[in-house]
Chains A and B, each alone.
Chain A
Amino acid sequence: MSSPTDKTRNKTRKETRKKTRQRRGSIAPSVAPSSEVLLRAEDLSLVRDGRHLLEDVSITLRREEIVTLLGPNGGGKTTLLQSLLGLYRASHGRVVRAKGLRIGYVPQRLNPSHLMPLSLRRFAHLGNDASVARVERSFSELGLSSLAEQPLYVLSGGELQKAMLARATAKKPDCLVLDEPLSGVDDAGRQRLYGWLERYSRENRCAILMASHDLHLVMAATDRVLCLDRRIRCEGKPQNVVQSKAFAKLFGSNRYALYAHRHDTNERP
């Protein structure tokens, strides 16, 4: 947990940076600096069709870290994730990925065409060399086993989310990049899915970077929250961030209920 002085220092530093528009390294991480950096964006700016989608965004993801990206609609969460994945070329700044980094990406939505009948099992194996046993295991853990032979286009939104998760984890990624992984998943399913993600992350030393527009859905095991509204507005441990002024400005001050899905037994150290 960072001390209040730390926070003020961070804030002042950020404001100076904003004023002088200095292009420097990333914001100080809250995890021990010795752990390996997997993914880093440095002063990333992105302009598309004349609209500033990202401005001077810096973000670092380290091994075994769980980071949640919070922000309003249109705040640039998906754009930032996709820039980190290399889908967009930044107008300014750069993205650095660790050598040989394997990323499992779960986009916000999948709209499988009903013209191409691809079974869930085929999908999970498509484009990777995952073993049958590994895929079967994630199918059974995610409750997809009975759907394995179904074509993707008959699956519901929530089932597709899990299907993409099964495929993303099949290639043993170093980090998972999840864009609103809970959209379309029912309440009970959300709890289970978060539990599964937490366990998966711990057992496989896999970092998670996920975006969410709803602060009620921040995972209990999150190490760090970043609030993104074109710029990084606030950053830090979840309980500290909720109390910051920037957070109140972004989300309204009356929304402090953070952990809708607290797993007391699964708290990470």
Chain B
Amino acid sequence: MLFLLFDPFLANALCAAVLLACMSGPLGCITVWKGMARFGETFAHVALFGAVIAVLGGMLPSFGMAAVALVLSLLLPLLAERTRLPIDSLLGILAPGSVALALVLTQWTGLAIDFEALLFGELLTTTPRDLATIVAGITATGVLLACIWRAVLLDVLSRDLALSEGLPVRLYDLMTTAALGLFIALGVRVAGLLLINAFLVVPASCLVMLSRRSVFLRNPERMAVGAALLNIVCVLVGFVVALLADLPAGASICAVLFLVFCTMSLCVR
């Protein structure tokens, strides 16, 4: 059964998942450190709205989701500055609002949308073209992150210190959410909203727990690498399980991540 992993068709899917898993390590850590873990979740809701709009306009739903991801990521820091409300409040406002709009629009226009595909993605249908897009996007996100990494560490620690040293923190905020938006926009077609979310939040949270126990992991970079590795292991396990038991791949990986978290929260103190 495992020889299927070497099938070129599946190899695309596996490569895509591993690449996304890899990038989720550092990106997820930043998301958790900055208290933006709900960003992905909110995006899942807002993306439904994007998908509905795209279908109404005669485009692919994934295109609408990607567009909305980018717009949201650029708009959020501006909105936060304008309203001077904390990010999590804004996310809490955007999520139900956009779902409501999406539902009203679907009812009104009588559209039929495959919400399951949006949530879990279609990992096994990854084409070489999807893969190329993901490679390009991951590279861009990686470069963006590498540029702002140290500044973000200082900013997470103390915004006043970062500002007093003349760092353009607003620009960095924008770059962080842009990297996040770009990542979600690219991954959403193949991985789906739930898996992208799980990729970002679950391993980073596990590593936070582990770093309290292990002196070796008490270092931001090691935490990021650790989260990426944990993600990759879960992708591989989830993939094999999906192949062996003939289950949907995205959901299996998501479930494995969840089980890892449950085990860790019971065992690591």
Contacts and interface: CB of A to CB of B under 8 A. Distances in A.
Give the interface SS of chain A, mostly helix, strand, loop or mixed. loop
A31 interface: no
Contacts of A152: 157
Nearest to B156: A116
Most A CB contacts (10 A, CB to CB) among B165, B167, B217 go to B165
Given A119-B219, A151-B218, A113 B163 contact: no
A248 interface: no
A112 interface: yes
Contacts of B161: 105, 107, 110, 164
A118 interface: yes
A164 B160 CA distance: 12
Interface in A74-98: 82, 85-87
Interface residues of A, number: 26
Interface stretch (B117-125, B147-155, B259-267): B147-155
Interface string B163-187: 1111100000000000000000000
Nearest to B208: A115
B211 interface: yes
B158 A110 contact: yes
A260 interface: no
B208 A86 contact: no
Contact of A86 (B156, B157, B166, B211): B166
B32 interface: yes
B220 interface: yes
Contacts of A217: none
B223 interface: yes
B160 A116 contact: no
B160 A87 contact: yes
A126 interface: yes
Given A115-B32, A127-B151, A105 B156 contact: no
Given A86-B163, A118-B220, 12 more contacts: A82-B160, A86-B166, A87-B160, A87-B163, A105-B161, A112-B157, A115-B33, A117-B212, A122-B219, A122-B220, A126-B153, A126-B157
Interface of A: 82, 85-87, 103, 105, 107, 110-119, 122-123, 126-127, 149, 151-152, 164, 177
